[in-house]
């Protein structure tokens, strides 16, 4: 039982940090959108800044996941590749929960007008008939909940794939040493 507690405790801390990085990235993007002016030059600058923030978050999350997986492996020397993978997968799940919950709160309380703006775009689309518009208006109140689950699934799957890739060489393997198949 203590091994599971160590795994869960370490993954919870790492997931909280990864979720916080994603939340800070989203808030920074939101602030850049609020600060940006109405001119074309300002829109381009904000777009470039958003792209840079996204790229920094993408690379930062990969490096942070790698760092936490390596640290877990160093703290648990008996942990093999599969245990490090489970740690990464649990970290991904907890990070996805933190980020998705914040994103749902963001859509409900911080930026609820974003749903109204999306509905306005749908209403102004000449290709949409009245039935499609009515269906979109019925779904609109549930969009934060749908966004929560879609974000949760996307972030968890992404984190699981990343964990599978990173855990292959954590802990580092020595190709000249005999394989120990008992390590889990």
Instruction: With respect to residue 24, please indicate whether it lies within any of the assigned structural domains.
Output: yes
Tokens representing 129 are 């008939």
Instruction: With respect to residue 181, please indicate whether it lies within any of the assigned structural domains.
Output: no
On the CB side of 114, CA atoms within 13 Å amount to 16
- Yes or no: say if 91 and 163 are a contact pair by the CB < 8 Å rule: yes
pTM (2 d.p.): 0.84
Quote the Cα angle for 160-29-108, to 5°.
80
Residue 86: which of 1, 176, 160, 183 has the closest Cα? 160
Confidence grade of residue 78 (pLDDT, cut at 50, 70, 90) = confident
Whether the pLDDT of residue 174 is over 70: the answer is: no
Mean pLDDT of 5-27: 94
Whether the pLDDT of residue 4 is over 90: the answer is: no
pLDDT at position 2 is 67
pLDDT at position 20 is 97
Domain count, the chain: 1
Confidence grade of residue 175 (pLDDT, cut at 50, 70, 90) = low
- Tens of pLDDT along 31-47? 988 887 666 667 788 88
Instruction: With respect to residue 52, please indicate whether it lies within any of the assigned structural domains.
Output: yes
Percent of the chain with pLDDT over 90: 57
pLDDT at position 62 is 96
- Yes or no: say if 144 and 108 are a contact pair by the CB < 8 Å rule: yes
Instruction: With respect to residue 67, please indicate whether it lies within any of the assigned structural domains.
Output: yes
Distance CA 15, CA 119 (A): 34
Q: Which domain holds residue 9?
A: 2-167
Distance CA 169, CA 125 (A): 51
Helix (H) or strand (E) holding 132: helix 130-139
Instruction: With respect to residue 172, please indicate whether it lies within any of the assigned structural domains.
Output: no
pLDDT at position 77 is 80
Residue 84: which of 153, 17, 1, 164 has the closest Cα? 164
Residue 169: which of 80, 88, 87 has the closest Cα? 80
Confidence grade of residue 22 (pLDDT, cut at 50, 70, 90) = very high
Instruction: With respect to residue 21, please indicate whether it lies within any of the assigned structural domains.
Output: yes
Instruction: With respect to residue 173, please indicate whether it lies within any of the assigned structural domains.
Output: no
Q: What is the DSSP letter of 142?
A: G
Instruction: With respect to residue 183, please indicate whether it lies within any of the assigned structural domains.
Output: no
């Amino acid at each position: 039982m203590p091994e599971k507690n160590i795994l869960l405790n370490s993954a919870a801390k790492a997931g909280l940090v990864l979720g916080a990085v994603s939340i800070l990235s989203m808030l920074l993007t939101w602030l850049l959108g609020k600060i940006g002016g109405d001119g074309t030059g300002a829109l381009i600058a904000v777009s470039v800044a958003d792209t840079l923030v996204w790229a920094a978050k993408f690379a930062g999350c990969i490096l942070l996941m790698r760092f936490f997986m390596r640290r877990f492996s160093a703290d648990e020397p008996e942990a093999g590749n599969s245990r490090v993978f489970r740690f990464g997968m649990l970290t991904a799940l907890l990070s996805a929960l933190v980020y998705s919950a914040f994103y749902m709160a963001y859509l409900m309380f911080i930026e609820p007008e974003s749903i109204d703006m999306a509905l306005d775009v749908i209403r102004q689309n000449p290709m949409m008939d009245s039935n499609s518009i009515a269906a979109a208006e019925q779904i609109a109140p549930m969009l934060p909940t749908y966004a929560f689950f879609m974000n949760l699934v996307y972030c968890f799957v992404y984190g699981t794939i990343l964990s599978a890739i990173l855990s292959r060489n954590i802990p580092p393997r020595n190709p000249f040493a005999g394989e120990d198949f008992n390590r889990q």
